[in-house]
Amino acid sequence: MILRTFGWSFGVTVVGLLLALLYGGPAGLALVAVLSILEISLSFDNAVVNAKVLDRMSPFWQKIFLTVGIAIAVFGMRLVFPLVIVALTAQLGPFQAFDLALNDSDRYHALMNDAYPTIAAFGGMFLMMLFLNFVFEERAEKWLPWLEKPLARIGRLDQLAVVVAAGALSFVSWLSAEDPGTVMIAGVLGMITYILVNGLGELFSEAGESGEDDGGGEPHGAGAVAREAVREAAADAEPRRGGPTPLALATGKAGFFLFLYLEVLDASFSFDGVIGAFAISTDPIVIALGLGIGAMYIRSLTVFLVRKGTLHEYVYLEHGAHWAIGALATCMLISIGHHVPEWITGGLGAGLIIAAFASSIIRNRNRDGEPPETAAGGGGKEEVHSGTA
């Protein structure tokens, strides 16, 4: 299982480290190794959220994500994207930007830093919308009930996530941004991108489910809350690899928009890692090799979580990942005016996920100690009713 899932990552690691050694000697090898660890530590929450979405996709779209998606993530976001940003900022051609990166790393770094507020506003607002829509939604399982219950209660107000996100963007732009207009535009575009991509994915996913219902499939709840509650309760009641899945896997247009959503999500996560990498090296080849290796492990970890059903077994991992996303989004917005060290960003994310994992273990042990009828059936039914009320 481990070799089959992480085999490509191990292979890419060996090739990448050899290339780093040939390109930059022992120093280049060390830098690539450090950057790989940085990428993994900053993006573990990305793998958890990716796994949740990937679990809804058909095998075909899962393969597309793990092939085309990897190429986009490794080569597009880790190598091409920084060059595009510098080219647009300095009004250079792509080859001129690449030459600048190789031969004038100080100016290249300065141009990337100049563009960072715009990048952080776009990525930060995309991630903020993802976080807010999660915490404002009623869920059967609650990791931090003292906090999640009141948030879900006020989340009944329509479009509250948009209101809070827009308020945060306006405050940060007014308080910290050197160019508030540009930051506002970039942030609004991040919000629009999230709403559009996520909304289209939900639209075609619901259309596909309705079509299956007409053909005699199992009935599905009309709202997102009911669908999530049914899915979680069914996952608790039956084995991951046994019995029918409560929701149809996304195919066709629904699968495409989920794929697109994952790519934008990965891009938003990678912004912070790409910029943070310049604190370690300004060489674009070294950065691409290091972050590329890390991205491969994130992809493999995503597949591992899906195949092992880890998110169904450790139910609070998803909660911890979304709180980590909220912390990352907040750090990105703060970094528009003030530098936030990478160890704070990575430490917050890792700490929240570790805490959620530990809470999941405690929950599972407590459920194992309950009477069989309570642990297997009764609690799940009550959760479904409370989620659909």
pLDDT, one tens digit per residue, over 339-377 is: 777 777 777 877 888 898 899 889 888 877 665 554 444
Total-model pTM: 0.69
Indicate if the alpha-carbon torsion angle 372, 373, 374, 375 is positive or negative: positive
Q: Given the structure tokens 């040939």, which residue do they identify?
A: 22
What confidence score (pLDDT) does residue 169 get? 93
What confidence score (pLDDT) does residue 54 get? 80
Task: Tell me the pLDDT of the chain averaged across its residues.
Answer: 75
Residue 379's identity, in one-letter code, is: G
Q: Which sequence spans correspond to the domains of the chain?
A: 2-388
Average pLDDT over residues 132-152: 88
Q: Are 222 and 271 in contact (CB under 8 A)?
A: no
What interhelical angle do 252-277 and 105-135 show, nearest 10?
A: 130
HSE-CB at 138 with a 13 A cutoff on CA atoms is: 18
SS3 57: strand
Q: Nearest-CA neighbor of 198 among 140, 132, 146, 141? A: 132
What confidence score (pLDDT) does residue 197 get? 76
341 backbone dihedrals φ, ψ, rounded to 5°: -60, 145
In whole angstroms, what separates CA 76 from the centre of its chain? 17
Can you give the length of the chain in residues? 389
